[in-house]
Every structure is written in structure tokens, then in C-alpha cells.
Amino acid sequence: MNNFDFRSVPTLINRIGAAANLAEILLRHYPQLRRVLIVTDRGFLATGLAAPSIASLENAGLHVSVYADVQADPPENLVLQALAHARQHQTELVIGMGGGSSMDVAKLVAVLANSRQALSDMYGIDKIQGQRLPLIQIPTTAGTGSEVTPIAIVTTGATNADIAILDAELTLGLSCEKKYP
């Protein structure tokens, strides 16, 4: 694969080894930066793959805090815990590193860190108020696209079904071509 930079997010960097040179990239864009938060999950952190990025940041003199309690389809309370962590460490920039859930939590923390808006007031389209912190997304899986979308998934439990019934007979006569709402 050839290295390239692509501007859409407004900047998308595709470069082997970029994560190990994270401080250089960040300081080029944010020269006054001093405090960063990495949002990830315990499984990814345990692989050691985040270590070069963390070392790059620390070797550049940046204060690095890590919130590694992200789980799939993060519930509201997890987002609020990550937010409290960010505020406690006076985060200036948020890095989502991992799968879609880690990046979604990072998005929400970046938006909420300097805001008085409640998380629940953001649910829906065009509901976010205020200015977010700078946000860097580093996906470690392929598929969600969370690094380039403005959407974040949070679960409340309020919409979970009480019972789900699967009956294969109901699908036997359906057309493969027709789309059903």
C-alpha cells in the first residue's frame, strides 16, 4: 500500500507507522498542546499496540491520560465516566483509539468536555451545542467508519425489547430483491 494523505475529515492520514509518530503529527497541528486523553478498551490496551503512541506523546513532554473502560455499544454511564476522567485530567485533545465504540466515546467526550449540555440533550440530529475539543481518531478495526462520521452510538437500555421472537416461517415467502422497512 502506498502512503498518502487525504483531506476529508478535514485531514485523513494513511501512513504506516503514523501511530508511533503521533506526537509529531499532533504538535504540527496543535503546537500549544500539553494534555491528551486516549479513549480505548482494555483488550486493545493489553495488546501493547498503543504503547508506541503513548511513548511518542510522553517523549514529546505531553501529559497522557488513558481511559480504557470502553465496551461495545457503550451505555450512558460509561460515557459520563470517561467525561469525568477527561475533566479531571484537564484534557485539551481527545484521541479515540480502537474500534467504533472507543471512537464514539471519544467523540462524545470531545464534545462534552467544555460543555454544560447534558448527554441526553444531544440525542438526535443537530442537537450539539458549543465547541468540542480537538479530536483525533485512530481506528484499529475495519468496518465501522466511525473515524470519519459525525455519529456516535450510546445505549440507554430504554429501547431494548423485553422479548424477541424469531420464526423462520415468516421469512420463507419474502423476496430477496424487495426491501422491507
Per-residue pLDDT at 123: 85
Per-residue pLDDT at 111: 95
Cis peptide before 75, with omega less than 30 degrees from 0? no
The pairing of beta strand 12-14 with beta strand 4-6: antiparallel
In this structure, the number of other CB atoms found within 10 A of the CB of residue 122 comes to 17
Show the domains of the chain with their CATH numbers.
Answer: 4-171 (3.40.50.1970)
Per-residue pLDDT at 6: 57
Sign of CA dihedral 46, 138, 74, 162: negative
DSSP state of 41: B
Per-residue pLDDT at 178: 62
Greatest Cα pair distance, the chain, in angstroms, is 64
Per-residue pLDDT at 170: 81
pTM of the model: 0.84
Q: What H or E segment, with its residue span, contains residue 12?
A: strand 12-14
Per-residue pLDDT at 10: 77
User: Mean pLDDT for each consecutive 10-residue tract of the chain (181 residues)?
Assistant: 71 90 96 98 95 98 98 94 98 96 96 91 84 94 80 79 81 68 57
Angle at 91 between CA 133 and CA 135, to 5 degrees: 35
Amino acid at 115: S
Alpha-helical (H) ranges within the chain are 22-29, 42-46, 51-59, 76-88, 100-112
